[in-house]
């Protein structure tokens, strides 16, 4: 049964590799099934591979809606997913990230590599600069992202980041907690200042 959620679209950032632990792809499938059941659209990087492919296929298999956003030059490398509800092929990485952020009400980060980290830091810093007000949740299975929490703590301790920066992203254990954390955020119109990205 499809429930209605206040979150119409969630952007998921995650790895493009299949070489990580199988449990991470299973986590992605769990998230995808929950989003489909809630009637929440998935916005993601548009590929068929890795954790990205796992979350997209789970949403589609459960009858949900998926928008992929992929630069033309990655169509081959990341196996552009032609079976998603909508596949937007854009000119470059900057356009991809701006479009993914514009289409989404919130962000969830799953395990991934350098690209995932880059996307996370960009969306965190955009929020820090007041360029958007959309909530960000990071799913941290088995402490995968613990060292990231550590470096953020080090930045705050050294005075390079304000203590509030630790509140820019919520660390949670699993997809159920990610979705309930996002649902519990103060509601109100979200915005993103695309002209300044
Ligand atoms: P990875 O976590 O490295 O597997 O990458 C996850 C996703 O991030 C892939 O779709 C990559 O294309 C994307 N990505 C890689 N590098 C960047 C970057 N500099 N900016 C934004 N996205 C990136």
Place of tokens 């969306």: 123
- Report the distance separating Cα 151 and Cα 113, nearest Å: 16
| pLDDT per position as a tens digit, 56-74 | 999 999 999 999 999 999 9
Number of folded domains that form the chain: 1
Domain that holds residue 149: 9-177
pLDDT at site 84: 98
Is 191 among the domain residues?
no
Residue nearest to atom 13 of ligand 1 (CA): 115
CA 112 to centroid of ligand 1, rounded, Å: 9
Residue nearest to atom 7 of ligand 1 (CA): 115
Is 196 among the domain residues?
no
Is 2 among the domain residues?
no
Q: Which atom of ligand 1 approaches the CA of 46 most closely? A: 10
Residue nearest to atom 17 of ligand 1 (CA): 115
Is 3 among the domain residues?
no
- Report the distance separating Cα 188 and Cα 109, nearest Å: 22
| pLDDT per position as a tens digit, 133-163 | 999 999 999 999 999 999 999 999 999 999 9
Is 1 among the domain residues?
no
Q: For position 68, which CATH number holds? A: 3.40.50.450
Is 182 among the domain residues?
no
Is 66 among the domain residues?
yes
pLDDT at site 129: 93
Q: Which residues line ligand 1 (CB under 6 A)?
A: 15-17, 45, 47, 74, 78, 93, 97, 112-116, 118-119
Cα–Cα distances in angstroms (integers) from residue 165 to residues 32, 121, 191, in the given order: 28, 11, 19
Is 36 among the domain residues?
yes
């Amino acid at each position: 049964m499809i429930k209605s959620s206040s979150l119409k679209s969630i952007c998921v950032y995650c790895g493009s590799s299949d070489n990580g632990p199988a449990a991470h792809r299973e986590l992605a499938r769990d998230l995808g099934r929950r989003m489909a059941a809630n009637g929440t659209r998935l916005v993601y990087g548009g590929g068929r591979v890795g954790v990205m492919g796992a979350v997209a296929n789970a949403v589609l298999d459960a009858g949900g809606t998926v928008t992929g956003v992929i630069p033309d030059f990655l169509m081959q490398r990341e196996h552009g997913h032609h079976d998603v509800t909508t596949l937007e092929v854009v000119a470059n990485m900057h356009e991809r990230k701006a479009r993914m952020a514009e289409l989404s009400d919130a962000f969830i980060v799953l395990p991934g590599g350098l690209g995932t980290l880059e996307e996370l830091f960009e969306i965190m810093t955009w929020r820090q600069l007041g360029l958007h007000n959309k909530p960000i949740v990071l799913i941290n299975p088995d402490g995968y992202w613990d060292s990231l929490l550590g470096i953020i703590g080090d930045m705050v301790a050294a005075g390079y980041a304000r203590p509030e920066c630790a509140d820019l992203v919520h660390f949670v254990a699993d997809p159920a907690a990610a979705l309930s954390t996002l649902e519990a955020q103060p509601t109100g119109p979200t915005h993103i200042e695309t002209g300044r990205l």
